[in-house]
Chain A
Amino acid sequence: GDSVTQMEGPVTLSEEAFLTINCTYTATGYPSLFWYVQYPGEGLQLLLKATKADDKGSNKGFEATYRKETTSFHLEKGSVQVSDSAVYFCAPVNFGNEKLTFGTGTRLTIIP
């Protein structure tokens, strides 16, 4: 089945620092790749996605590129803000496989 390995947290950064959260996956075929974010006290919400190789998903200053050759979908942001403090989840999803497998999540804390 599909599986995903995420960078272990927690990650603590200063405001305006550069962020990378690593995500690698194991899946058959060509999965769609998602990053979800969970702000404190809330459910998850979609941050960005990419559906085919070399696609770049972007939203709220975050970016991730679908790298089929390395089976990775690393999340990046050039300058983080305190409001980015949250837990981030990576998820590969194969069309036709209706199970959803999330990574363990990476807790990010941004210090002013």
Chain B
Amino acid sequence: EAQVTQNPRYLITVTGKKLTVTCSQNMNHEYMSWYRQDPGLGLRQIYYSMNVEVTDKGDVPEGYKVSRKEKRNFPLILESPSPNQTSLYFCASSLAGAHNEQFFGPGTRLTVL
């Protein structure tokens, strides 16, 4: 089944404890991206990647890192999480670029205490 998977689905952590949220797609998509969803603010793009080893900042990249060492994986790294990064995170992928249909993962709900 074609899908985007994220792990974990739920995470509660404490300020400053490094964490990684994994994202994997099995559709051989070139474009992958991360979003956070917050009440009243909608969906905001954190980082995106056009292909392996190519990443770029979205609208809210501060406090986040990403890497794209393999085409199928695009992990989101929070080196030192803070409470303002409490949010619902979505990974998405598409065939080639933002103008193609985006396929979203199920989301990761992160709480930073």
Contacts and interface: CB of A to CB of B under 8 A. Distances in A.
A105 B98 CA distance: 18
B42 A99 contact: no
A61 interface: no
Contact of B42 (A43, A94, A95, A105): A105
A44 B43 contact: yes
Contacts of B50: 98
B48 A103 contact: no
Main secondary structure of the interface of B (DSSP, over half): strand
Contacts of A42: 106-107
B48 A104 contact: no
Interface in A72-96: 89, 93-95
Contacts of B90: 43-44
B105 interface: yes
Main secondary structure of the interface of A (DSSP, over half): loop
A39 to B, nearest CB: 11
A43 B93 CA distance: 12
Contacts of A94: 99
Contact of B58 (A36, A43, A99, A104): A99
A102 B44 CA distance: 7
A32 B99 contact: yes
Given A43-B90, A44-B90, A105-B42, A100 B98 contact: yes
Interface string B17-61: 000000000000001010100001111110010100000101100
A93 B90 CA distance: 19
A102 B33 CA distance: 13
Contact of B101 (A46, A89, A97): A46
20 contacts: A36-B102, A42-B107, A43-B106, A44-B102, A45-B104, A46-B101, A46-B102, A95-B99, A98-B31, A98-B48, A98-B56, A100-B35, A100-B48, A100-B58, A102-B35, A102-B43, A103-B42, A104-B42, A105-B42, A105-B43
